[in-house]
Structures are given as C-alpha cells and as structure tokens.
A and B are shown apart, each in its own frame.
Chain A
C-alpha cells in the first residue's frame, strides 16, 4: 500500500475537481463524494501506518524528476517515514470527522458544495505537505494550504470581518514565508538540492559555514512562525476564527497550524547543527505559549479562547523541538522531539474536538459569547461531556491523551529551569482558562434564558464525530505509555530513545493542571471568588490582556500604516517626481521649441519679412514721385534744395544722410498713404492671392 501513498492526497484533489466541474449542483452527491474520498484516504493511511510499523520505521521514498535548472534538480516525490505516517493519520482522521460534521453544521448554506470542494482542496494540500520528500515541494503545498485557509476563513465573505481576516491570515503567514524562501535559497545555494536526505547529508558534510547554517535554520523557522502562529506573527489565528467552525477545527487547530511544527520536526537535522538557532526556536515557542495563555484567560468569545489556546499549545511543541535541538547540539539526550511530535498528534485530536464541540454549542445558542451561555450540560448530552473530556485532556489529567504528551513536554525542559517554570505556569493557566470555559458554558445557571430555551443537541452528523474524537482524546496518548510495545517511541523517533518514567515530574505536572481546574471551579462554579472584583483589582492588566497585549494596534501603527503611507507617498513621488522629470523634460523641449519658433518667426523670418516690408512701404512712398503731379515734383525739388543746403552747411560727408532722408521720406509717405486708405494695390493683390 505504501507504494500507493501518492493517492492519499490525490483522492481529495479528485473530489475537489469533481465537485467544481460536475457535482456542485447536487449538494448531497458533492458532499458524499468528498467524504468518500477522504475516508478512503483514511483507510489507506491506517494501512500505511501498519506497513510502516512492519517495516520497522524504515523510510520509503519515491520521486520523479520534475525539471532541472542547471545543477539544481526539482523533484516531485513522497517520503513515508513514521512521522509522515502519523501525520497522515492525524490529518485524515480529523479531516473525515470535520467533513461529516460539516454535513450538519453547514446544512442549508447556499455555498454548501463549494465548502466541501474547498475542504477537499485543503486536504489535498495538507496531505501533500506531509508526504513531500523535499523542501521545494513542502513549500509548494505550504503555500497551497495558505490559499485554502484564505478561501475558507473568508468563506462567508459578505461579512467584512471574515474577508479582512482571510486577507490578514494570508499576508501575515506570507511574511513568515519570506523567511522560508530565503532559507530555501540558502539551502539550494549551498546544498544544490532540496531533497531532505540530500540536504541533511550535505549539512552533515559541512557544506555550510556555521554562521550561514544558523541563519538558514532561523529563516526556515520563520516559515513555521507564520504558519503555526507563533509570536510575533500569531495575530492572524484568532481573527481566523471568522471562518466556519469546522474550518477552525480542521485547519486552524488540528492540521495546518501544526504544519509549522511539522516543518521544524522535519528539518530537525538542520537545527541540531546549530544550538543558537534551536535556542531561538525554543525561546519563541515558550514566549508564544506564555503570551497566548495569558490572553486566553480573559477572552469571552468561545472560539477565540480556543484559538489562543491553540497558539499556546503550538508554542509548547515548538519549544520542545527547540530544546531538543539545543540539547542534541550539546550532545545531551532529550525527549523534546518525541514530546513535540507526540503533543502535535494528541493536540490535533483534543483541540479538533474542542472546536467541533464549540461549533456544536454555537449551533445551538447562536452566539460565541460565553457570558450569554451557561447550564448547557442539561441540553447537550453529547457535546458537553465531549467538550469536558477534551478540556481534561488539554489540562493534562491522567489517563487522558494530553497527560502523556504534556508530561513529555515538561520533561523536555529538563535542565532548562526557566523553561520549566514557564511551562508549568502555562500548564496552570491552560487548565484554568479551559475550565473557566467549561464552567461558564455548561454549568451553573443559564445567563441568557432565551438562548437557553432554544438550545438543543446538534444532529447526529455533528455529535457522532464528537463522540469518536472523544475516544481519541482519551486514548490517543496511550501509545506513549512506557512499556507498551513502543508505538509511540517508534512512531516519533528516528533514533532510539527510551521513555523514562519520572514519577515526581508527572505528579508535579498533574498537580499543576488539577489546581488550575480547582481554581476555575471556585471562581466560576462556586463563585467563591468574584472574577469581576479580581478584574477590577487588576484593571490595567485585565485591560491589557483583554486587548491581546495590543499587538494588532502596534502592528497597525508600526507596519500597516507606514507601509500604506509609503505606498501613497511613492505614488505621489512617481507622479510628481519621476514622471515630473519626464514631463519636465517634455516641457523644456516644448519651451525650447517655442523659443525657437519665436526666434524663427520674429528674427529669422522677421528679417526676411522685414526686408520685404521695408521695400514695399518705401516703394509705396516713392510712387508719388512718378504720379505725374507737377505740384508734388515742385515741392520735392524745393524740399531737396532746402535739405541739401542745410546739410551742406552742417555736415561734411552728406551722402549717407541723403540716402537716409530719401528712404525715410519715402517710408513716411508710404505710411501716410496707407493711413489714408490708399494702400498699394499690388501688395494687396498678393495677400489676397495667398
């Protein structure tokens, strides 16, 4: 069956294509086909898991050559190793549950078929992502899950908030992808391959200088920071809750957001070469975990609490992986890798369950605000227990799934006291806010009678998946029980690692979780402590947390506004300066040509015309000399004599003067002739002819 693993992603792709082109007009057939495909993929995944176990975890790789650009080969291929096999199970299981659940949840939506086609497209991308055998291909699917996430967050795109959230998610994750791309460029440049094994081998051979390797690892991690909503790019995930709840469960809780963790786990062999990069990973992880947990304490939107919880748990996994890298780089053993990937699996189940449960609640009461809920346990006999099981699981109560994986997370902080303390603090907060959620939603008196009256248990298509996931939220961790025929140990490990039993550690972790629940019980069930008074007492902190540490406002101030302003400025700059230079050059040319035209008209042509004009006018004057009027002749002669006489007395050289006077007189006469309307007819005729 492993040879056919490539079919696992292709089946949902087939479903997508079939729905888009043929089946979308029939909602039942479309959704049924989609579910059939993912169930087939699920069966294959289970089969492949067993085959992988039978192979003793030996990786199975198959690829074909896509194209090469010079020495760099691009391949399409699949790699099935234990990590992939487990991820396949996680994705197909949650994917199947969510699709079945969506039958009920999305019932009556005008874009019902489209929803299933998007879900199928997402599952194709996600399954492709986990099966990829090289960095180039994982990046392709990485972007495709981003696309489907965008489409599904904005599924109800008429709602402005949903459209905004989709855009925010895409762009924010893309900022992380920038780093991913640069990381890929570094890897491609130095290793001349993108194949996982090839890259790891090349790095082992030391093709990359240590400093560059640290950079490459951190850049790769940037991708994970974006996708897994880690600080400082975590801001998109809570907004992504604008999408339909099944989408939140599948994409924004169980699978896609875990892709970042998967990427770090997958490229662990890069990180183990650099303790510095791994430390960065661990610090980002625990910082995220802590920030998100504090915000989750005070939120009132049921989905947002879960979203911050997701961010926080993902931070846990990232931290564990980072600490594994640190320890390994220093030559110590660490359960971090096991912890991170194991928690990734259990978290997918219980967080998927929590979201589906929340969806069921929202479906029943038509609000997201937990302050308007309460007492729903009586109305929702399946949803409520399922939700509470998941909450116990995430709080790390034995023997539920979360207990085992969280215990490993805590164990991975061994030797790192700061991480240890913060991890326990987060565990305490997690238990507290999850049970705050449970108590406010399902217990106590209904705070909104009207909503309570209309509440009802969801249809079977929704409650059965809840029940099924509850089983996993309880039992999925048992594979990690030490001494059992080490499925967990095998599944999450390339190298042998013995799960040790640290009873004291377990006790501490469990106590912390329990005390969180107990505190929540006293505050929100017994009302022994008034939550409002506490909030009042710590008003600044409460406001700070309620506003999510003001990250959105900060980014708006330091990123979005400046970039938009720069864009507008550059546009003006473009029109005024860059284009201004062009237009200015054109204007100068025009000016120059105008000047030339003026010069041409008045100076060059003016000289020509002027000469003609002078001749014409003087000719007009001189006409009188031949007009045959004797009086005029006499006057002329008289004038001449007088002038000559005067000239002879005062001027020696009188010839030029004579000419000047002659011409002047003729001109004068010419003018008088014109003024009297007696224009020279020859010139007039010439003008007319022209």
Chain B
C-alpha cells in the first residue's frame, strides 16, 4: 500500500481501535489517538522531505499533468460501471498541506487532552476527520474527492454539536447545512462534467486537460458552481457567517483544525480543480474574485475591530486573512501571487492555529473569553503574554515571520497583475489597508487583555502554560519563524507545481 493511501487509512484504523477501547479508560483513548495521528505526521514529514530532495523537479519536466504528480496511487477500479476510480496523488500543491494537516492534527489531539466527557467518541471522530482531510488533499477522482469532502462534515458536526459551547447545536447545524448547501452545487458541476465528456470520466486530471475545450457557458456554470462550494469553505465574503459561530462554539482543538486545515481545503480545491480547469471562466470572473477578496480583507478586519470575544476576534481575522488568498487567486497569471496563496495558506494555518490554541489556554483557566474582563495579564503570565504577542505580531504581518512574506507576495503579485484586469492594482492598493486594520485589532486586543493595570484579586489564580501546552504551540512558532526568515525551502517546494498549474490557468 502506498504512502498516500496509508495517510487516509491509518487514522481510520485508529478510529476503529479507539472505538474498541474500554469506555472508562480516558488515557487509553488519548494516547491511542496520539499514536495514530503521530504516525501520519511522521509520514507527511517524510513525504515533504522526499518530495523536496528527490521529486520536486519532476513537475517542471513532465509533459502530461498526470506525470507531474510526484506520488500517484491508482487509478484502481472502484465502481467500474460508472467509471469511478480510487485515484490519489500528491504534488507540490498537496504536500505542504498534507504536512500542515499532519502537524495540526497531532497538535489538536494533544490539545484535546482536557476533554473530559465521552473521550472515546471524541477521539474517534477526530481521527475520522483527519482521514477525511488527508483524503481531500490527495484525491484525484471527483467521486473520491466528493466523498472525502462530505465525510468530514459528519465528525465535524458531532465535534461541535456535542463538545461545543453554549450555542453548539445551532453552530453545528449551521456549519453542516451551509457546507452541504455548497456541496450540492459541486455535485451538480461534477455531474455536468461527467456527462459532457466522452467517455464519461471522473478523473480530475483529465478534466483539467480537457477543460479549456468545453463550451464557454458550460465553463462558466461549472466554475460558478464549484466556486460556491469552495467559497463557502474558505470562506469568501459573503459566505462567511457560519465561521464565527462554528469557531466560537467549537472546542479549542476543533477550532484549530477548522481554521488551520478546513479553510485551506477551499483554496486548495480552487487551485487544484476549478482554476486550471476553466481558464476562460476564470479570466472572465477574476476581477470579481479580487473584489470579493478585497472586501473580505477590509470587512473582516473592521468587524474584528468591534469584537468583544477573543475567539470571535480570531475567527473574523480568518475572514480577513483568507481574503488575501482570494485577492491573490484572482491574479492567476502571477507567479508571486500564486506562491503567495500557498504561503498564506500555510502561514494562516500556523498562526491562526496558534492563536486558537492560546485563546483555549486562557479559556481553560479563566472560563471566559470576554476581552473586557481581562487586563494586565502580562504581569502575572509573562511567558504566555510573550507567546500571544508573538502570534499577534506574526498575524499582523511583522517581517521575519510567515505572515509578512505571505502578505507581501500576495500584494506584489496582485498589484502587478494588471494584465488580468486593469483595476487589479487599485483593488490591491485598497486592500493594503488591511495591514493597518490588522495591526489595529490585534494590538487593541493585546493591549486590553495583557497590558494596563492588573487585577490581582480577580486573576491572581491564573497559572502559566504547562508543558503539554508548550508542546502544542512551540512547533508552530518555530515554523512561523522559519518560513518568515528563510522562505526559500517552502517556495522551492511549491514553485514547480504552481508554475505548471499556472500554465493551465492562463491558457
């Protein structure tokens, strides 16, 4: 069995094992889940290593799209009558996201050790979620892709709905239905493609190669349908309102996964599927995508500015940060912009994951996330404060950390993409405002929570982070600094694949 299949299978096996454990033994469930998510993480690290050192140049040389997949498993017959195949593969686009998924899954499971109720079910669901995420990032068959895309909703629904906060049912149902609503469009688009190819096929790569020969109207319809499905996941303004609810109600670790990985599936799917597949539609709609991105950046930041709840602030900041991705995605013929998307995806996964973990740390101790009740925590919790300031600074795009290089690439790329549309520089110029607003809402939060006078009688009992909590955030800090200071490895990791994909986008 190949490594990609095992990335999906191992968490699934883990899920089964966890379910068979005795109900009362919480530690058994925790550690089993840890082991079964640590293995895929090690595998993704190996995959990244192997891809970086031996395979990444393949993409540039390949003649057909299937050859650019550095790792391919399949296609195996699955449901022959419908020509459905088990077909997975990975290239420079998937590898970093697989690594991100592997890392964040393990971190989230470690961060979930505080879960006290129905521990077994919790970790079983979590491992199912991991399997689904891995599957999305490797699937090369539409049916497979759709199955993985949908299967994640189930554990997510329960993770939010059972272990969530006060309004968990509402948030869980909203998340579930909203995403499902988008998926229907995707399904219709898939069927349209299926019946418009001869022989009928669900092979994504074949569709990408044939995409530009489709009639314009069909391209537009499919593009828009896919876009709705993916945009809800990203989330692109104005499809974002499930996100604050889901993030706020979800338990910490689930928020981390939600922000760190699930949102990336939307942008990943755009880059993998709809962008290279429908170049004519992309060209027609690029301006509007940029506009939506720009609105998302400014709007998300302004709304963050008004938040009273720490977690909601981070949630809305995601809307803003994913707006950068959309802005850059609109500049589809600029290598800087498309690299910027990848950088921003990875960077946002690390930073927002870190921020959610840290908010969770505080919530576990103070049992509130209300910004106004805190103040001066820097006196009592110097290390926690330093780490929080670190992530805030990274998130507001301070150079030397990953957020800056990502945003800068996005801006450079989108600004120079006047060949996409002459308005691109102006939209980018306005979007740059997000940089100041980002500083405003994050520093405002830092100031009101950590600086100022400290109320010893109220918060004197707060304790510093424990070892397990350090273990969860330190890897994210290291990677943030690494990408920020030395972006070359990540850039090299993705550039060959992206250049190749861009050829299809700019057909």
Contacts and interface: CB of A to CB of B under 8 A. Distances in A.
Contacts of A673: none
Given A67-B488, A174-B436, A189-B415, A182 B302 contact: no
A175 B306 contact: no
Interface string A173-185: 0110110011001
Interface in A113-144: 139-141, 143-144
Given A185-B412, A188-B412, A570-B299, A586 B177 contact: yes
Contacts of B435: 174, 177-178, 181
B302 A566 contact: yes
Nearest to A70: B335
B493 to A, nearest CB: 11
B412 A157 contact: no
Nearest to B319: A574
A69 B335 contact: yes
A570 B241 CA distance: 12
A179 to B, nearest CB: 9
A564 B241 contact: no
B411 A185 contact: yes
Interface stretch (A95-103, A164-172, A371-379): A164-172
B416 interface: yes
Which of the listed residues A68, A566, A570, A586 has the most CB atoms from chain B within 10 Å of its own CB? A570
A110 to B, nearest CB: 9
Interface in A634-672: none
Nearest to A192: B416
**A interface: dominant SS:** helix
A164 B447 contact: yes
A680 to B, nearest CB: 45
Given A66-B487, A564-B305, A178 B335 contact: no
A144 B443 contact: no
Contact of A578 (B238, B393, B428, B491): B238
Interface in A149-168: 150, 154, 157-160, 162-164, 166-167
Contacts of A66: 486-488
Contact of B454 (A68, A158, A186, A581): A158
A582 interface: yes
A139 B411 CA distance: 14
B306 A167 contact: no
A28 B408 CA distance: 41
B354 to A, nearest CB: 17
Contacts of A566: 302
B452 interface: yes
Contacts of A162: 451
A494 interface: no
Contacts of B446: 167
Contacts of A67: 487-488, 491-492
A679 to B, nearest CB: 43
A582 B246 CA distance: 14
Given A69-B412, A144-B398, A185-B412, A158 B376 contact: yes
Given A140-B399, A157-B452, A566-B302, A182 B432 contact: yes
Contacts of A181: 408, 411, 432, 435
Interface in B275-313: 299, 302-307
Interface string B437-473: 1011001101100111110000000000000000000
Contacts of A160: 451-453
Contacts of A158: 376, 379, 451-454
Interface in A551-568: 563-564, 566-568
B96 to A, nearest CB: 15
Interface in B361-410: 376, 378-379, 393, 398-400, 404, 408-409
Contact of A147 (B336, B398, B432, B450): B398
Nearest to A188: B412
Contact of A582 (B241, B299, B486): B241
Interface in B477-500: 486-488, 491-492, 495
A17 B453 CA distance: 28
Nearest to B302: A567
A596 B453 CA distance: 59
Contacts of B299: 570, 574
Nearest to B411: A185
B74 interface: no
A164 B453 CA distance: 12
B398 A185 contact: no
Contacts of A164: 447
Interface of B: 174, 177-178, 238, 240-242, 299, 302-307, 334-336, 339-340, 376, 378-379, 393, 398-400, 404, 408-409, 411-413, 415-416, 425, 428-429, 432-433, 435-437, 439-440, 443-444, 446-447, 450-454, 486-488, 491-492, 495
Q: Would you list the 7 A-B pairs with minimal beta carbon distance, nearest first?
A: A70-B335, A163-B451, A140-B399, A567-B305, A567-B306, A579-B241, A67-B488
Interface of A: 66-70, 72, 74, 139-141, 143-144, 147, 150, 154, 157-160, 162-164, 166-167, 170-171, 174-175, 177-178, 181-182, 185-186, 188-189, 563-564, 566-568, 570-571, 574, 578-579, 581-582, 586
26 contacts: A67-B487, A67-B491, A67-B492, A69-B413, A69-B491, A139-B399, A143-B398, A144-B398, A147-B393, A147-B398, A157-B452, A158-B452, A159-B452, A163-B451, A178-B435, A181-B408, A185-B411, A185-B412, A185-B415, A188-B412, A563-B305, A564-B305, A567-B303, A570-B299, A578-B238, A586-B174
